[in-house]
Structure 1
Amino acid sequence: MKIKVEIDLQELIEKGDFKTLKRVLEQQDPADVKEMIEKLPPDLKVVVFRLLPKDKAAEVFSELEPDDQLELIKLFREERLKEIFESMDPDDKVELLEEMPANVVKKLLSYLPPQEREELLHILNYPEDSAARLATTEYVELFEDMTVREALEKVRREGKKKENIYSLMVIDRTRKLKGTVELRDMIVADPDQKVSEIMNKDPVFVHATDDQELAAELMKKYDLIILPVVDSEERLIGVITFDDLVDVIEEEATEDIQKMASMSVTYTPYFHTPVWKFILKRSPWLVALLLLESINSNIISGYEKFLASIPLIAAFIPTMMDAGGNIGSQISALIIRGMSLNEITAKDWWKVLLRESLIGSILGFILAGVLYLRAFLISSDPTLNFAVATALLVVILYANILGALLPFIARIFKIDPAFMAGPLLTTIVDVTGIMIYFYVVHSFLS
């Protein structure tokens, strides 16, 4: 178990104790160094980077948020910036270039040799969320006609500079992916065997233009630590490693949570996101939901005379709105999760409809019974109480079915189902639930 060391780097820098600071930094993992320097002002971060070896400095720099990276780029000396950028992994270089302004991208690309610059630009030409954007060229590739002895010699020669050597890519002379082979299988194989004899000839792979989410699903499904990425002619262009999969899963979870909260997506951490950006991301949805919710006032005003004759029915309006919104949010969350895990597909809509009709009916009867008894605390009229309970039964059944079907409707219109949860669903149920409540109660009591 690793024990986290709490060190005040700012105090060491202000004291000028750079010898102790350098020793402390050498003992820390890049991820820990990143945490230690996050709250330092930019000029002191630069001091820390001067004391880090270039490989560790590159790893720490790639972990920082884009706004911090841009600040440091402006403060680094030319030689130090070039050294750090050249030492970064290819996929980290791509991620950095995606986030930087055009003038910074041009400057960074000028540090690279022509071949590597061409490779990075080729990857950057792929769509933003494509698998190619996650690909790294830090892997060992073998030819299918190599002997195991030749292959192991190549792994020894190149392995130290590569990100992963446990799963190895096998290609032909035209770079077409032919298979994959595990290092452990080569170690125990006959040295004179051909790589083609021990490799997996049916490898799992993704095309460069496939969505990153598909890559994550495949790696999870087949328990892969590395996933080949090929072009349209199945020529190997790179691999996706497991650490990149974790980043994709985190991004997808962030996206779903924010969409379920009815706001536009932002991937930057809370304190790294400007206030104005949060306002722009949240206000359009809030305005739209406010206008939709305001329809309730028109519905209630339409029953003004009815309310004046029996004022007590107004006391149950919040109950109808809350109960319907709660049950709708519950079922929509379950369906959206099932869709994201591929447990539920579009063709399952009718099974879900039948299942949730039954569940909604049972829940409706349970909650209606509870409300009928609870209503006697404020009303001694059994007819009124029964009308209110019946209205709740209908609202619960309706909200449960609506919450279950809205994600399917979203899929039909190619909208992310996550949008159909949270405030949006609650507002829709509120408006329509009030209509149902007044209609049912009015039908009973008039």
Structure 2
Amino acid sequence: MKVKVKLDIKSFIERGDFRTLKVILSQQEPADILEMIEELPPDEKIVVFRLLPKDQAALVFSELEADDQIALIELFKEEKLKEIISSMSPDDRAELLEEMPANVVNRLLSYLTPEERKETLALLNYPENSAGRLTTPKCVELHPEMSVKEALEKIRREGRDKETIYLMPVIDHQRKLLGVVTLEDLIFSDPDMLVEQVMDDQPVYVYATTDQEEVAQIMRKYDLVAVPVVDSEQRLIGIITIDDVVDVIDEEATEDIQKMSSIVVTEQSYFHTSSWQFFINRLPWLAALLLLGTLSSGIIARFEHLLASLPIIAAFMPAMVDTGGNIGSQISALVIRGMALGEIDQKDWWRVLTRELLIGAMLASTLAVAVLLRVVFVTRVTHIMLAVSTALFVVVIVSNIIGALLPFIAKSLKIDPAIMAGPLLTTIVDLLGIAIYFSVVNFMLSV
């Protein structure tokens, strides 16, 4: 039984008590060790890796940030580095090499056996963010003519070194995927039955070129712990397991949050990204949005005569802008989430538009009445009260439609819909809100 403890590794290293530290580390999960060594400098991290068994060291190393991995590669003795790289799963190894400079990649590949090198390079040849990059060939492969007894014996022989034994692909001798079978199916079946009698011959699978986000959606939809990956001729390449998909969901969520905040996507974590990199990532969008936002001054200048004759209407500008931005952000978030979960397709734009026209009208009517009651406390001039509430009515409906349609427009242009949320949407809706407000008030008051 592994005991989870909060361990001050630095104190053990400073005391030179490596024997005790080795025993304690052997009882920890890789994720806990990763958390314990996060703040250690590279020369102390290397001490910890020397105390870890090779399999445990490989798991911890694969989860480190890229800059930490590069620093440790320079410090590892050749034998230890070879041991760790060889012990990593093929998909983790491919992900590692993808982040490394070319000279480091060549060095690491030289530590692998010809078979390991072939596996790794095969995964690297698939497009970035594709299922092929996540695939591990380390799975128990069964054949339909095997008996259940033979299949269980094979699992006992090979299962310990495989990624998972809970779901196993069934293939013919040309490696074409015929079905899948679970460990539960085998355990509770008659030992003399054939695998083809207990397997699911209509398996869920993905192609190597399938986008990793789509893989995550498929596995979530069907509650899969693993999914087979095939080539264009439906020959088995390997499997993707749920632990890799959890990482994908985390990466995609982080990417969407950054795009929705109008930040160039950063793959490394906050403290592993330099201040200069954040400056470079954030500046272009902020500068572009600033220039876009300055268009509002031109709109206001056009209606300067209106403000000069009725200064009171300036008091309601912030309410128009804020309400429009809030409405647009709400609906865009709902649509983008629906797209991410596969609930909304590109062809659904018309259904979303008609639905949001109704919802927008309901929201606009309610908010227009609310602002009308608020305007009473500022002015009792009836035509001004009606003009402000009517303007808000139009702003809400237009903002709701824009917020709903922008993600569809982005998708049709092959742009991530998440980009259309956050600051970009708010800036667009703000400009339209100011223009609509002054136009409606100007028309109704006939100034």
Q: Which amino acid aligns with 2:417?
A: P
Residue correspondence of structure 1 range 369-388 to structure 2 within 5 A: 369-388=369-388
Q: Which amino acid aligns with 2:358?
A: L
1:335 and 1:291 map into 2 onto residues whose CA distance is 27
SS of equivalent residue, structure 2 residue 179: strand
Cα offsets for 1:204-232 (capped at 9, x unmatched): 11111111112111111111111111111
Correspondence 1:128 to 2:124 = no
SS of equivalent residue, structure 2 residue 142: strand
- Give the deviation of 1:160 after TM superposition: 1.2
SS of equivalent residue, structure 1 residue 165: coil
2:425 and 2:108 map into 1 onto residues whose CA distance is 46
- Give the deviation of 1:407 after TM superposition: 1.3
Q: Which amino acid aligns with 2:182?
A: E
Aligned to 1:390: 390
1:345 and 1:83 map into 2 onto residues whose CA distance is 47
2:343 and 2:175 map into 1 onto residues whose CA distance is 36
Aligned to 1:57: 57
Q: Which amino acid aligns with 2:438?
A: F
Residue correspondence of structure 1 range 387-426 to structure 2 within 5 A: 387-426=387-426
SS of equivalent residue, structure 1 residue 164: coil
Residue correspondence of structure 1 range 16-95 to structure 2 within 5 A: 16-95=16-95
SS of equivalent residue, structure 1 residue 394: helix
2:368 and 2:5 map into 1 onto residues whose CA distance is 57
Aligned to 1:367: 367
Correspondence 1:148 to 2:144 = no
Cα offsets for 1:285-319 (capped at 9, x unmatched): 11111111110000111111221111111111111
Q: Which amino acid aligns with 2:112?
A: L
2:256 and 2:3 map into 1 onto residues whose CA distance is 34
Q: Which amino acid aligns with 1:415?
A: I
SS of equivalent residue, structure 1 residue 189: coil
SS of equivalent residue, structure 1 residue 139: coil
Contact 2:2 2:29 in 1 (8 A): no
1:91 and 1:346 map into 2 onto residues whose CA distance is 32
1:188 and 1:373 map into 2 onto residues whose CA distance is 70
Q: Which amino acid aligns with 2:144?
A: E
Moved over 6 A (4+): none
1:438 and 1:101 map into 2 onto residues whose CA distance is 56
Correspondence 1:185 to 2:185 = yes
- Give the deviation of 1:444 after TM superposition: 1.8
Question: TM-score, with normalisation over the residues of structure 2?
Answer: 0.97
Contact 2:179 2:201 in 1 (8 A): yes
- Give the deviation of 1:245 after TM superposition: 0.9
Question: TM-score, with normalisation over the residues of structure 1?
Answer: 0.97
- Give the deviation of 1:3 after TM superposition: 7.2
**1:429–1:114 distance in 2 versus 1, CA, 3 Å:** same
2:383 and 2:360 map into 1 onto residues whose CA distance is 24
SS of equivalent residue, structure 2 residue 203: coil
Aligned to 1:427: 427
Aligned to 1:99: 99
Correspondence 1:276 to 2:279 = no
2:422 and 2:313 map into 1 onto residues whose CA distance is 27
- Give the deviation of 1:379 after TM superposition: 2.2
Aligned to 1:301: 301
Q: Which amino acid aligns with 1:264?
A: V
Correspondence 1:266 to 2:266 = yes
Q: Which amino acid aligns with 2:21?
A: L
Aligned to 1:162: 162
1:184 and 1:433 map into 2 onto residues whose CA distance is 60
| Comparing 12-21 and 320-329, the one that deviates more | 12-21
- Give the deviation of 1:88 after TM superposition: 0.9
SS of equivalent residue, structure 1 residue 377: coil
Q: Which amino acid aligns with 2:392?
A: L
2:249 and 2:79 map into 1 onto residues whose CA distance is 36
SS of equivalent residue, structure 2 residue 364: helix
Q: Which amino acid aligns with 1:181?
A: V
Aligned to 1:347: 347
Aligned to 1:221: 221
2:415 and 2:8 map into 1 onto residues whose CA distance is 48
2:281 and 2:68 map into 1 onto residues whose CA distance is 22
Q: Which amino acid aligns with 1:143?
A: H
1:59 and 1:295 map into 2 onto residues whose CA distance is 53
- Give the deviation of 1:2 after TM superposition: 8.6
Contact 2:329 2:403 in 1 (8 A): yes
**1:364–1:66 distance in 2 versus 1, CA, 3 Å:** same
- Structure 2 gaps of 5+ residues are none
Correspondence 1:199 to 2:199 = yes
2:184 and 2:358 map into 1 onto residues whose CA distance is 53
Q: Identity over the aligned pairs, expressed in percent?
A: 62
2:407 and 2:150 map into 1 onto residues whose CA distance is 54
1:184 and 1:351 map into 2 onto residues whose CA distance is 43
1:67 and 1:99 map into 2 onto residues whose CA distance is 9
1:264 and 1:404 map into 2 onto residues whose CA distance is 23
SS of equivalent residue, structure 2 residue 380: coil
Cα offsets for 1:152-177 (capped at 9, x unmatched): 22111111111211111111111111
Q: How many residues get paired?
A: 446
1:115 and 1:4 map into 2 onto residues whose CA distance is 37
Residue correspondence of structure 1 range 232-243 to structure 2 within 5 A: 232-243=232-243
1:4 and 1:55 map into 2 onto residues whose CA distance is 19
2:252 and 2:234 map into 1 onto residues whose CA distance is 27
1:189 and 1:106 map into 2 onto residues whose CA distance is 48
SS of equivalent residue, structure 1 residue 140: coil
Cα offsets for 1:55-97 (capped at 9, x unmatched): 1111111111111111111111111100111111111101111
Q: Which amino acid aligns with 2:97?
A: L
- Structure 1 gaps of 5+ residues are none
SS of equivalent residue, structure 1 residue 268: coil
Q: Which amino acid aligns with 1:211?
A: D
- Give the deviation of 1:346 after TM superposition: 2.1
Residue correspondence of structure 1 range 167-178 to structure 2 within 5 A: 167-178=167-178
Q: CA RMSD in A?
A: 1.5
Q: Which amino acid aligns with 2:94?
A: V
- Give the deviation of 1:382 after TM superposition: 2.3
Q: Which amino acid aligns with 2:274?
A: P
